[in-house]
Amino acid sequence: MHVQRLTMGLAALAVSTALNSPSFAQPAPSEAPGIPVTVAKPQHQDVPVFLSGLGVVSATNTVVLHPRVDGTLDKVAFTEGDIVKAGDVIAQLDARPYQATLDQANAKKSADLVTLANAKRDLARYADLAKNHYAAQQQVDTQLSLVNQLDAAIKGDDATIAAAQLNLDFCRITAPFTGRVGLRLTDAGNFIRSADATNTGIVTLSQIQPISVTFSLPQDQLPAVIAAMAVAKPKVVAAKSDDTVKLDEGVVITVDNSIDASTGTIKVKATFPNQALTLWPGQFVNARLELDPKRNALTLPTSSIQRGPNGLFVYVVKPDNTVAVTAVKLSLDNGSVAVIESGITEADTVVMTGQSRLRPGARVAPSAAAAS
């Protein structure tokens, strides 16, 4: 019994000695892993400069075609939605009354010409008789007055004929410019009057190739627009309201002659070729006016820029993989690229994503951003 206890004691002593030996020492606590982030270095590149505003599309020219004479609408010569060319016949009024008036004016002129010719022959006879004193000079003067009176009547006939011809031409209603006709406003067979206040017209014609977009910019951007227009016509891109689809590309043609005092904005008008008919009168679009780009600017992705109570800043990664907060000043941020005016250099490494868990001095596990 005594021997058994001695044996157990020696075993316990051996175990205790083994546990306290260096080979059984506890490992030191490991360093905490860094916060995973993606990083990027500032780069020099040309950055396009855009001024954006909400624009409204309008036709370059719009007209409601009305008759200029009274008459029955004999024929509608278009299909709703047609593209018509300048001079194409849009509608035809009953021309018979105006043709009759023209014929009557021509007949009267013919009669007056015969009368004038006879008066001129009588004047020649009286003049010959007066030379030999067989006719009084007063008779010659009277005949001369009649000839002059008939000459004036012929001129009046010409004016009457011109007016009758004009009214006859007005029976053919033509397109004043190339454009797209809308919905028909009057059907064939209706009697329409030129001076009727209730007359809605025959059809609306809109010129949509080219087409215009008017958009507003803050008044502070006006000097940049004027400077760009002094060099060339600045390019404008029209996009859908969600900015996902480019609709067309055009140029600025003018700016308004005054600033809207209620909003502090200036209206800018641009023209677009609209060959694919992607722009339509009354449509709202996002207009982006392109100015001269910033050349060889120091840039960072916009996602690198953070906003704090003291302004804009970035997280700069130090050589020991800890981060420090560095204030920056921007001269431009177009939503994807930020142009750095001061605060960092191209030698710095900046956190691009993963900033939500960072604090000054935090350790990071950086990885380079994928090439775009």
Taking alpha carbons only, the member of 61, 44, 310, 27 closest to residue 179 is: 61
- CA 282/CA 55 separation, integer angstroms: 10
Q: Which two tokens stand for residue 279?
A: 């722009």
Indicate whether this model's pTM tops 0.75: no
pLDDT at 112: 93
- CA 328/CA 326 separation, integer angstroms: 6
- CA 260/CA 11 separation, integer angstroms: 99
Residue ranges of domains in the chain, CATH in brackets: 36-47+296-368 (2.40.420.20), 51-59+206-293 (2.40.30.170), 67-93+172-199 (2.40.50.100), 96-170 (1.10.287)
Residues 6+ apart with CB under 8 A from 72: 93, 94, 189, 190, 191, 192
The mean of the pLDDT values for the chain is: 87
Strands 191-192 and 89-93: unpaired
If one counts every other C-beta atom within 10 angstroms of the C-beta of residue 17, the result is 9
pLDDT at 109: 95
pLDDT at 24: 46
pLDDT interval class at 140 (50, 70, 90): confident
pLDDT at 149: 93
pLDDT at 16: 52
pLDDT at 370: 61
pLDDT at 368 over 90: no
Condensed to tens digits (0 to 9), the pLDDT of residues 72-119 reads 999 999 999 999 999 999 999 999 999 999 999 999 999 999 999 999
pLDDT at 294 over 60: yes
pLDDT at 2 over 80: no
Half-sphere exposure of 71 (CA within 13 A, CB side): 23
